[in-house]
A and B are shown apart, each in its own frame.
Chain A
Amino acid sequence: MISPAVVLGASFGYLLLLFAIAAWGDRRAAEGRSLIDNAAVYALSWGVYCTAWTYFGSVGRAATSGVWFLPIYLGPMLAMLLAWIVLRKMVRISRVYRITSIADFVASRYGKSPLLAALVTLITVIGIVPYIALQLKAASAGFHLLTGAPGSAPAAAWWRDGVFYVALALAAFAIMFGARHLDLAERHEGMVAAIAFESVVKLAAFLAVGAFVTWGLFDGMDDIWAQARTVPELSALFRLDGGGEPFAYAEWFSLTILSMLSVLLLPRQFQVMVVECVNERRIRRAAWLFPAYLLAINIFVLPIAVGGLLVFGPGAADAETFVLSLPLSQGAAAIALLAYIGGLSAVTGMLIVETVAVSTMVCNDLVMPSLLRLDRFGNRAGGDLTRLLLNIRRVAIIAVLMLGYLYFRIAGEAYALVSIGLISFAAVAQFAPALFGGMYWRGATWAGAFGGLLGGFAVWAYTLMLPSVAKSGWLPIGLVEHGPFGIELLKPERLFGLTGLDSLTHSLFWSLLVNVGLYVGLSLARAPAAREASQALLFVDVFRRGGAEPVFWRGRARLDDLKALARRFLGAARAAAIFEEEARGFGPPTPERVADARLVDRVERQIAGAVGAASARVIVASVVQEEPLTVDDVLEILEEASQLRGYARALEEASAELRAANEQLKTLDQLKDDFVSSVTHELRTPLTSIRALSELLLDAPELGPAQREEFLQIIVAEAERLSRLVNQVLDLAKIEAGGAEWNWTEVDLRALVTEAARATSELFRERGAAVALDLPDTVPALRADADRLMQVMQNLLSNAAKFAPRQGGRVEIALREEGDGLVVSVRDNGPGVAPEDRAGIFEKFRQGGDEATRPPGTGLGLSISRQIVEHLGGKMWVESEPGRGACFAFRLPLHPEREPHERESADR
């Protein structure tokens, strides 16, 4: 047992830490250095999915039915596989249209309907308040267990109940970090940072308990299993049909689907995933980090459950509190306290986010519409309303939490932890058809959404909520057992005689059937009105619009009215900022001071961020003269927008082309610069020797004849090198510029190769290299320029001579007919060309081999040769393995495609 003072102290200490972290997060956000713009933090904030229901309830479930705790986490895994597709679209829609809650999302899609928003809010409140109560109950039960007080019921009067003060502290937190200022995007970075921290705490605490049980009380997981195996009712936990009954595959499947939907649709999940999303690209990584988090927090569920059953004996203790009671029973008070803090973090995280989310809905979609109807609040009443809005939000936070507390006090003992969570899940699952359908189906209408939601909710209430209320003893149980008025067909858990399903699957089946049926049926029955159709286009095609969005509004609005409106709902500073920005972007307002559709839409969206889309619609409509849109108008506006988009795209393409051309020019410029620089270098090098040695000869009459002759020989050689270079550069320039003269004649390549080999035989003899010719007896004649080809051959042969080794040098010249072309190859047994040099060897001034050892050359020969061959319609290449010689070859077509006599003559 731990003294209540210690537990309370630790609890409030933990809450203080949360306040500090949230304050830090808010400060960082204000400085523009977001703490939460990070996939890991984002994913951790999604961990708010794991509430006390996970923390305590999973173990309870595992202890009674084995792997049945898993579908609740496998569902989110499956949902996350689609997060990049579905969640990203939700985030994008919400960001573009300033949507701040799930009610807002649904209502906005179906024509910004206040009625729909109110219905969604109502379903949420009814579905979620018991869930909030459940969290408080878990905190209370844990506290009593830890301090050794009997039972988990709140024995003391409410003002002496610690849970009450926890709830108050959380309300304070939610107000401070969830409703301190009116944020148009409704984002709360401090709160999210604290939630992410809570996710770390609960994971760490749960893992600590898991490790304590697995390796502290037992000798590893296999030991737990080995011991459990000997107890029949425990070993059954590891089989599907463990309880002796056939496995309920349908229930398993419906749990998977249910949790798959809930992980996106629970108000707290929508808040952290969609509303608080800083950067939609973070979804990519968070989508797999989050299931990994879930997996980690579930690893020890079975070991703790089975371990607890082994320690206490089956049925001897409440399995839902094993996390606390196991360490406590072993005297490990510190672990128990840590486990309690972990549980508290699960409770507080859920409560904070859920309350902020629900209070936003209550304020925007229940309270605001009623206020807007009041005269005092009417259109012309002046004054800044932002403070009032905030206060409504704050009151709503306190109200939601107190409602939860009240529920907990009244119904504290009525439900098992697990069932209530599922009831909530099933309630929010009703949003799925309207929400997901609306994102992908343009034809869905308001009537369909409203009918589906209402019908689904009614069936849910009748088949799931009502039986649980009856089982709590607040309604005659006969209602469930025999049906209302004894009508068997209407038994809530056996509707129309449908048997063979558990109550959850039964309810989910009927409610979603009715929901989807009405949604689709009513949508198909009547074509969408203009406002629904326009919103449908905005939602479904949200990714298609880049900037040029159509504005579905026509009418007249006075600028001053709009300004006054913005001031009232957004505050003076923000309103001024909007109109200034507008004036900067689109010039000063027109003299008539009339606002155009785009500005009206913009102001409406900003106000929607503060009070929700539906209320914003009503508010804006009160000061403007709106012309009703027809579906034809919608199509016309869309057409205009897509034309604008077309222009924008054409413009973008044109500028991209320009950019590319400019890049290319720059590259060419760079190449030219490099070429000039290289040529300069190659010209200056021989000039240097010539000038220096000539000057030395001039200045030093005392030089001996031998020295004199050496210098003069060098001068002559370098002068030859210089003229060779000049010729080649000119040659290359001519070929490249297309100004060279080409003398096309019939060429016998066999004769030409033989002649080239004869002409260069002196080079090979000097080098001591053997030359082998491998030529067919005859080859077809081809049309080419014989002189240029001779230049190519001589270049290849002199290269081969240069690179052949001084001893054992061998050069093979081959000519053969291949297809409709002739291939000439010159193979040497020199050092070869390294693979990395092969591509560049034909470039100007690139010379093969190590510069220190290679023979002299201008570095232009191969480049010119290739240009010639290509001009003749052929191609030239090199094959080589380093150390095993190189083979330069070229192929010429027998019938060149271009033999442009007319062009060549025109060139002259």
Chain B
Amino acid sequence: MKGARRPRTAVLIALCGAGLALVNFPLLALWDGDATILGLPLLPVALFLIWGGLIAALALASEGGEGGAGQGGEEP
């Protein structure tokens, strides 16, 4: 496994917490409004944007090549 890229545990857990908060009450209520984005209603657009953002963040955390050091005791 030497030199293998792997995402950092703490980053993933933080992302998951952020995701859970962003798509649930009370933040969910923030995306609920009459406004439009590029002629599209705010709520679904916001949810899809958060979704896409999480995917991008996960991709970055996974592929960014953060070194394998400091992974805690979970690795051989």
Query: Contact residues of A with B, CB < 8 Å?
Result: 66-67, 70-71, 73-74, 77-78, 80-82, 84-85, 221-222, 225-226, 238-241, 247, 249, 252-253, 256, 281, 284-285, 287-288, 291-292, 295, 298-299, 302, 543-546
Chain B residues near A285: list those with CB within 8 A: 62-63
Contact of A74 with B9 in the complex, beta carbons under 8 Å:
no
Contact of A291 with B54 in the complex, beta carbons under 8 Å:
yes
Chain A residues near B16: list those with CB within 8 A: 78, 81-82
Contact of B58 with A291 in the complex, beta carbons under 8 Å:
yes
How far, in angstroms, from A834 to B31 measured CA to CA in the complex?
57
B40 in complex: contacting residue of A221, A544, A545, CB < 8 Å: A221
Query: Which residue on B lies nearest to A78, using beta carbons?
Result: B19
B54 in complex: contacting residue of A67, A77, A544, A545, CB < 8 Å: A77
Contact of A295 with B48 in the complex, beta carbons under 8 Å:
yes
A256 in complex: contacting residue of B20, B44, B55, B76, CB < 8 Å: B20
- B1-29: contact bitstring with A at CB < 8 Å (1 yes, 0 no)? 00011110100110110011001110011
B23 in complex: contacting residue of A66, A74, A239, A544, CB < 8 Å: A74
Closest-CB distance, A895 to chain B (whole angstroms): 40
How far, in angstroms, from A222 to B52 measured CA to CA in the complex?
20
Closest-CB distance, B58 to chain A (whole angstroms): 4
Chain A residues near B28: list those with CB within 8 A: 240, 249, 252
Contact of A288 with B58 in the complex, beta carbons under 8 Å:
yes
Chain A residues near B75: list those with CB within 8 A: 543
Contact of B24 with A81 in the complex, beta carbons under 8 Å:
no
Contact of B15 with A284 in the complex, beta carbons under 8 Å:
no
How far, in angstroms, from A80 to B28 measured CA to CA in the complex?
21
- Apart from A78-B16, A284-B6, A292-B55, what 7 extra A-B contacts exist at CB < 8 Å? A85-B12, A238-B42, A285-B62, A288-B59, A295-B52, A544-B74, A546-B76
How far, in angstroms, from A240 to B40 measured CA to CA in the complex?
15
Contact of A291 with B55 in the complex, beta carbons under 8 Å:
yes
How far, in angstroms, from A67 to B73 measured CA to CA in the complex?
41
Chain A residues near B44: list those with CB within 8 A: 66-67, 70, 238, 302
Contact of A222 with B40 in the complex, beta carbons under 8 Å:
yes
Contact of B13 with A85 in the complex, beta carbons under 8 Å:
yes
Chain B residues near A546: list those with CB within 8 A: 76
Contact of A543 with B6 in the complex, beta carbons under 8 Å:
no
Of the listed residues B47, B63, B73, the one surrounded by the most CB atoms of chain A closer than 10 A to its CB is B47
Of the listed residues B13, B36, B62, the one surrounded by the most CB atoms of chain A closer than 10 A to its CB is B62
Closest-CB distance, B67 to chain A (whole angstroms): 14
Those 3 A-B pairs whose CB atoms lie nearest each other, nearest first: A222-B39, A249-B25, A238-B41
Query: Given contacts A288-B58, A295-B52, are A225 and B40 in contact (CB under 8 A)?
Result: yes
Chain B residues near A291: list those with CB within 8 A: 51, 54-55, 58
Contact of A67 with B43 in the complex, beta carbons under 8 Å:
yes
How far, in angstroms, from A221 to B29 measured CA to CA in the complex?
23
Query: Which residue on B lies nearest to A249, using beta carbons?
Result: B25
B38 close to chain A: CB less than 8 A: yes
Contact of B20 with A240 in the complex, beta carbons under 8 Å:
no
Chain B residues near A81: list those with CB within 8 A: 12, 15-16, 19, 54, 58
Contact of A287 with B58 in the complex, beta carbons under 8 Å:
yes
Contact of B13 with A543 in the complex, beta carbons under 8 Å:
no
Contact of B55 with A295 in the complex, beta carbons under 8 Å:
yes
Chain B residues near A225: list those with CB within 8 A: 36, 39-41
Chain A residues near B74: list those with CB within 8 A: 543-544
Chain A residues near B73: list those with CB within 8 A: 544
Contact of B4 with A281 in the complex, beta carbons under 8 Å:
yes
How far, in angstroms, from A81 to B61 measured CA to CA in the complex?
10
Closest-CB distance, A398 to chain B (whole angstroms): 40
How far, in angstroms, from A77 to B7 measured CA to CA in the complex?
16
Contact of A284 with B5 in the complex, beta carbons under 8 Å:
yes
Query: Which residue on B lies nearest to A299, using beta carbons?
Result: B48
Contact of A284 with B7 in the complex, beta carbons under 8 Å:
yes
Chain B residues near A82: list those with CB within 8 A: 12-13, 16
How far, in angstroms, from A85 to B10 measured CA to CA in the complex?
10
Closest-CB distance, A239 to chain B (whole angstroms): 6
Question: Can you report 12 A-B residue pairs in the complex whose CB atoms are below 8 A from each other?
Answer: A78-B54, A81-B12, A85-B12, A221-B40, A222-B38, A222-B39, A239-B43, A247-B32, A288-B58, A288-B59, A295-B48, A295-B52
Chain B residues near A545: list those with CB within 8 A: 76
Contact of B62 with A84 in the complex, beta carbons under 8 Å:
yes
Closest-CB distance, B30 to chain A (whole angstroms): 11
How far, in angstroms, from A67 to B45 measured CA to CA in the complex?
10
How far, in angstroms, from A67 to B19 measured CA to CA in the complex?
17
A78 in complex: contacting residue of B20, B25, B29, B47, CB < 8 Å: B20
Query: Which residue on B lies nearest to A546, using beta carbons?
Result: B76
B51 in complex: contacting residue of A66, A295, A302, CB < 8 Å: A295
Closest-CB distance, B3 to chain A (whole angstroms): 12
Contact of B32 with A240 in the complex, beta carbons under 8 Å:
yes
Closest-CB distance, A58 to chain B (whole angstroms): 13
Chain B residues near A85: list those with CB within 8 A: 9, 12-13
Query: Which residue on A lies nearest to B14, using beta carbons?
Result: A81
Query: Given contacts A284-B7, A543-B75, are A80 and B58 in contact (CB under 8 A)?
Result: yes
A67 in complex: contacting residue of B39, B47, B76, CB < 8 Å: B47
Chain A residues near B5: list those with CB within 8 A: 284
How far, in angstroms, from A727 to B12 measured CA to CA in the complex?
64
How far, in angstroms, from A239 to B29 measured CA to CA in the complex?
10
How far, in angstroms, from A288 to B7 measured CA to CA in the complex?
12
Chain A residues near B24: list those with CB within 8 A: 249, 252-253, 256
How far, in angstroms, from A302 to B46 measured CA to CA in the complex?
14
How far, in angstroms, from A292 to B29 measured CA to CA in the complex?
24
Query: Which residue on A lies nearest to B72, using beta carbons?
Result: A543
How far, in angstroms, from A287 to B41 measured CA to CA in the complex?
29
Closest-CB distance, B11 to chain A (whole angstroms): 9
How far, in angstroms, from A70 to B26 measured CA to CA in the complex?
17
Query: Which residue on A lies nearest to B60, using beta carbons?
Result: A288
Chain B residues near A253: list those with CB within 8 A: 24-25
How far, in angstroms, from A73 to B23 measured CA to CA in the complex?
11
How far, in angstroms, from A66 to B28 measured CA to CA in the complex?
14
Query: Which residue on B lies nearest to A89, using beta carbons?
Result: B74
How far, in angstroms, from A230 to B29 measured CA to CA in the complex?
23
Chain A residues near B54: list those with CB within 8 A: 77-78, 81, 291
Chain B residues near A256: list those with CB within 8 A: 20, 23-24
Closest-CB distance, A232 to chain B (whole angstroms): 13
Closest-CB distance, A490 to chain B (whole angstroms): 30
Contact of B51 with A544 in the complex, beta carbons under 8 Å:
no
How far, in angstroms, from A831 to B12 measured CA to CA in the complex?
53
Chain B residues near A77: list those with CB within 8 A: 19, 51, 54-55
How far, in angstroms, from A292 to B51 measured CA to CA in the complex?
9
Chain A residues near B15: list those with CB within 8 A: 81
Of the listed residues A73, A80, A81, A226, the one surrounded by the most CB atoms of chain B closer than 10 A to its CB is A81
Closest-CB distance, A744 to chain B (whole angstroms): 46
Chain A residues near B38: list those with CB within 8 A: 222
Chain A residues near B59: list those with CB within 8 A: 288
How far, in angstroms, from A240 to B32 measured CA to CA in the complex?
6
